[in-house]
Amino acid sequence: MSEITTMFWKLPHQVDIKHPDIVEIAKRLRQGEIIAFPTETVYGLGANALDAKAVAKIFVAKGRPSDNPLIVHIATMEQLALLVEEIDENSRKLIEHFWPGPLTIIFKKKEMVSELVTAGLNTVAVRMPNHPIALTIIEAANLPIAAPSANRSGKPSPTTAEHVFNDLNGKIDGIVDGGPTGVGVESTVIDLTGDVPMVLRPGGVTIEELQEVLGEVKLDPAIVGQKEQPRSPGMKYRHYAPTGEMWIVKGDDREIIKKINSLIKEKSLIGKKVGILTTNDHRESFQEADLILAYGTKDNLYPLAEHLYEALRIFDLNGIDYILAEAVEEKGIGLAIMNRLKKAAGEKFIQI
Ligand code: TXA
Ligand code: MG
């Protein structure tokens, strides 16, 4: 990039394709610039998916390993046809039910999709985001847009424009501020190219929802165990890690409260600042912690997903050295939450 000036546009949630900022952003994307924008899951860092030079800039700005492929974002079915060899029966069903939305589908790619986007794989990951700003930008640019999450590699994904700014200011050409994102965790990635559909990354669309549409759906064994090599390259990297040491606490409800409180005492005594991540069911139970962040309830984990990455950043901003996160049940959106918590904690568990 020639200058260290990151453009900043603030846009209303609903925006017209003729809005002067949209026209400007679309033009810049067509010229090969890289620009962050909101989607319904997290902020993405977009580039023209058909321009290898523009895509290369994404990897540099994020510090992303080049063997980790990108998701291509589209606004119309015509754009899908540009990218993929064929759309089979199962893909059709998923598209009908979940697009636009937080579901990424792996397809056999067409020749013209750059090797850089797919990290040399013969497949391409595609999704149609459910966010008016994202869709309007893609439509106005009239291009498929490659976009990973707009964070520095290894950091939590950004759910506000401020998070993007803190990670990437001066490294990218522009940021579109459309307010906080809604889902909070990334899209679910599903691979339909094998015998049985397989979820490679749990996310905004739950396995249960996918099973209702497809019947049998498997979860990549590498997501549950740790021995196997994950099929989605990005899943093998440590991610989302806060600066403080983080543990997940799992077990019987009443025992958990006792255990956490005794750890708070123990760590405070040796001068550590202790942070707790939990749901509102237990908000009042950990009075002696330095910082308690509680979202949603055990019966409705969606607010926890929405605020999860923000919480990890808040712990850092407050200089928390020791974080205890209460485990949630690994079903529904809880599966994606636990997947991200495990990565943030480097798989460290306190089992009671
Ligand atoms: O919600 C989301 O998906 C966000 C927003 C911006 O759309 N994007 C996002 O992108 O999370 P990123 O790059 O942070 O994660 C993409 C994931 C990685 O784990 C990557 O390895 C996987 O998708 N992936 C991409 N192409 C793939 C392919 N052809 N086969 C298997 N996995 C693939
Ligand atoms: Mg990411």
Instruction: Tell me the per-residue pLDDT of 292-314, one tens digit each, with 9 for 90 and over.
Output: 999 999 999 999 999 999 999 99
Residue 230: band (very low, low, confident or very high) from pLDDT cuts 50, 70, 90: confident
Ligand 1 mutation pick, 160, 186, 192, 220, max ligand atoms within 8 A of CB: 186
Cα-based torsion angle of the residue sequence 136, 155, 204, 315 in order, rounded to the nearest 10 degrees: -110
Whole-angstrom Cα distance, residue 322 to residue 302?
25
Would you call 279 helix, strand, or coil by DSSP? coil
Centre of ligand 2 to C-alpha 255, Å, is 35
Overall pTM surpassing 0.85 (yes/no):
yes
Residue 237: band (very low, low, confident or very high) from pLDDT cuts 50, 70, 90: low
Task: Indicate whether 239 pLDDT > 80.
Answer: no
Please, are residues 207 and 216 in contact by the beta-carbon 8 Å criterion?
no
Check residue 110 and give its pLDDT. Answer: 95
Say if residue 70 is exposed, middle or buried (CB neighbours under 10 Å; 0-12, 13-18, 19+).
buried
- Using H for helix, E for strand and C for coil, what is the string for 168-193? HCCCCCEEEECCCCCCCCCCEEEECC
| Per-residue pLDDT reduced to its tens digit, 84-137 | 999 999 999 999 999 999 999 999 999 989 999 999 999 999 999 999 999 999
Q: Which residues pair with 126 in a beta bridge?
A: 72, 105
Please, are residues 189 and 232 in contact by the beta-carbon 8 Å criterion?
yes
Q: Which helix (H) or strand (E) holds 322?
A: strand 322-326
Residue 1: band (very low, low, confident or very high) from pLDDT cuts 50, 70, 90: very low
β-pairing, 35-38 with 174-177?
A: parallel
| Mean pLDDT estimate for the chain | 95
β-pairing, 123-127 with 103-108?
A: antiparallel
Please, are residues 327 and 350 in contact by the beta-carbon 8 Å criterion?
no
Contacts 24+ apart (CB under 8 A), 298-303: 298/328, 298/329, 301/328, 301/332, 301/333, 301/334, 301/337, 302/333
Task: Indicate whether 3 pLDDT > 60.
Answer: no
Q: What integer is the mean pLDDT of 65-85?
A: 96
Tokens 């939305």 belong to residue:
101
Q: Which residues line ligand 1 (CB under 6 A)?
A: 39, 41-42, 44, 68-71, 102, 104, 106, 118, 121, 123-125, 129, 147-149, 186-187, 189, 200-201, 232-235
Check residue 336 and give its pLDDT. Answer: 98
Higher pLDDT, 3 or 272: 272
Q: Give the max Cα distance, the chain.
A: 62
The residue whose C-alpha atom lies closest to atom 30 belonging to ligand 1 is 232
Q: What integer is the mean pLDDT of 156-163?
A: 97
Residue 317: band (very low, low, confident or very high) from pLDDT cuts 50, 70, 90: very high
Q: Which helix (H) or strand (E) holds 71?
A: strand 71-73
Centre of ligand 1 to C-alpha 164, Å, is 17
Tokens 């008016």 belong to residue:
132
Check residue 231 and give its pLDDT. Answer: 82
**45 alpha carbon, closest ligand:** 1
Check residue 196 and give its pLDDT. Answer: 96
